[in-house]
């Protein structure tokens, strides 16, 4: 799908993208005013250089970060390089995002071409979906592997957080728990923040360093996060991140980003204690970006993925597994077949009726007999068996009620 930005012709009613751009400009102006105000406050507060002033700077900064400039839409492509335990993986990603929604189509490049599909992943306003070329999965919550991950998710929030946590929340934790805090504004408008934590009677320590560009809307330029045991025994972690930002259509967006995380853990082999090292690296280069194209919400849903007919879909939201066909399948449509398969399972235990298919996972039924597409199964035996069971239960209840009345009348007559 080719996505292009459209402008409004003079003298005509403004289109939705034009109105959205106008609102975005207004919100951006408001945020810019807040940035100027906080910059002035920062410069004056840091003049004293006291830790109390640094904490005041963080409080004002948190308020600024909480004021969102508003969501917008964009689409583009990027090259991603991932290295884990010495294994290097390269992927090309076509991405798009809109408001809080995000989607990435990842491919394995080969001979200068896009290559084979690795995964399509998206998060929409109701759920999250993923397709790996073999089957699709629908979940209520976002996939942790993809959501706001520098290697997959190109939503702007991905590049303004620290290890999955929004920057404002990080600073809140610094104010609450850090033993030492320092904030310093350099001549280039970079606000450098450092904090130190101590835990368990000073046996463990945690250090955080953050650099924000105050002249470009407080975008996150770099951060470093370290944890270690002060007594020399136990695990340690050193993670660092850096990004370069570029202005595109009045929007600051990442052009390059780098992330590296090193873990040291302890392995016990008998009485011997050996360290174990794990390294993860990710590098992102944004090749192109189009701001505020027309992107329908459906692009972020299961239907918008363009799945081949008869693709297996595991829907953890409804609790069913089925084969994808043409048209939109909503939750209400899937609940009917789900109940029918449960009836089949119940009737089979009672009357030996034919099984229509069961999924090995608890709480999920497979709507497929292995030969036909989803939801092409015979539900009549189940309904008839159910009606028989309900009739027997009702008849038994009526007989019991009649016996109780008869016994009550006999007791009154005897008295």
| 320 shares its domain with 187 | no
Q: What is the pLDDT of residue 196?
A: 92
pLDDT(199) > 90 = no
HSE-up of residue 162 (Cα within 13 Å, Cβ side): 24
Q: How confident is the model at residue 264 (pLDDT cuts 50, 70, 90)?
A: confident
Of 260, 282, 306, the residue at which a domain comes to its end is 306
If asked whether residues 385 and 336 sit together in one domain, one would say yes
DSSP string, 200-230: TTTTEEEEEEEEEEGGGTSEEEEEEEEEEET
Specify if 415 maps to a domain.
no
Q: What integer pLDDT is reported at residue 359 of this predicted model? A: 36
Question: What is the pLDDT, as a whole number, of residue 250?
Answer: 87
Residue 123 domain flag: yes
Q: Is residue 401 part of a domain?
A: no
Q: 365 and 250: one domain?
A: no
- Answer whether 55's CB lies under 8 Å from 44's CB: no
Task: Give the residue from 249, 277, 306 where a domain finishes.
Answer: 306
The last residue of one of the domains, among 265, 291, 306, is 306
Q: Which residues, at least 6 apart from 2, have a Cβ–Cβ distance to it below 8 Å? A: none
In the structure, what pLDDT confidence band is assigned to residue 222 with cuts at 50, 70 and 90? very high
pLDDT-derived band of residue 25, with 50, 70 and 90 as boundaries? very low
Q: CA-to-CA distance for 258 and 247, rounded, in angstroms?
A: 19
Residues 84 and 190 in one domain: yes
Residue 205 and residue 347 share a domain: no
Count up the domains in the chain and report the number.
2
Residue with tokens 């920062």: 42
- Is 406 inside a domain boundary? no
Whether 302 and 316 share a structural domain: no
Place of tokens 């209520």: 140
State which residues form the domain around 72: 1-306
């Amino acid at each position: 799908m080719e996505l292009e930005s459209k402008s409004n012709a003079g003298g005509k009613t403004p289109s939705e993208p034009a109105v959205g751009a106008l609102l975005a400009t207004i919100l951006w102006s408001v945020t810019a005013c807040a940035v100027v105000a906080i910059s002035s406050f920062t410069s004056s507060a840091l003049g004293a250089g006291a830790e109390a002033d640094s904490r005041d700077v963080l409080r004002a900064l948190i308020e600024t970060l909480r004021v969102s400039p508003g969501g917008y839409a964009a689409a583009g492509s990027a090259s991603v390089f991932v290295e884990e335990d010495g294994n290097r993986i390269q992927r090309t990603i076509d991405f798009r995002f809109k408001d809080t929604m995000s989607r990435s189509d990842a491919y394995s490049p080969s001979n200068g071409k896009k290559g084979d599909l690795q995964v399509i992943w998206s998060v929409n306003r109701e759920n999250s979906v993923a397709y790996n070329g073999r089957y699709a999965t629908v979940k209520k919550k976002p996939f942790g592997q993809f959501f706001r991950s520098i290697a997959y998710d190109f939503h702007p929030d991905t590049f303004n957080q620290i290890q999955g946590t929004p920057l404002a929340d990080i600073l809140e934790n610094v104010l609450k728990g850090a033993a030492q805090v320092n904030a310093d504004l350099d001549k280039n408008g970079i606000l450098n923040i450092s904090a130190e934590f101590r835990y368990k009677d000073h046996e463990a320590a945690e250090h955080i360093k953050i650099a924000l560009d105050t002249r470009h809307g407080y975008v996150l330029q770099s951060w470093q996060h370290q944890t270690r045991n002060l007594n020399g025994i136990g695990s340690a972690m050193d993670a660092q991140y850096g990004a370069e930002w570029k202005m595109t259509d009045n929007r600051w967006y990442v052009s390059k980003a780098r992330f590296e995380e090193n873990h040291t853990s302890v392995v016990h082999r008998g009485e011997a204690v050996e360290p174990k090292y794990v390294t993860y690296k990710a590098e992102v280069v944004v090749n192109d970006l189009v701001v505020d194209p027309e992107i329908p919400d459906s692009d972020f849903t299961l239907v918008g993925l363009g799945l081949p007919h008869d693709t297996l879909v595991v829907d953890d939201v409804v609790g069913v597994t089925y084969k994808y066909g043409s048209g939109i399948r909503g939750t209400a449509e899937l609940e009917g077949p789900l109940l029918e398969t449960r009836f089949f399972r119940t009737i089979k235990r009672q009357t030996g009726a034919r099984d229509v298919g069961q999924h090995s996972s608890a709480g999920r039924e497979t709507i497929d007999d292995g030969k036909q597409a989803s939801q092409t199964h015979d539900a009549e035996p189940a309904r008839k068996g159910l009606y028989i069971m309900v009739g027997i239960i009702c008849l038994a209840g009526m007989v019991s009620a009649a016996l109780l009345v008869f016994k009550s009348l006999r007791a009154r007559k005897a008295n």
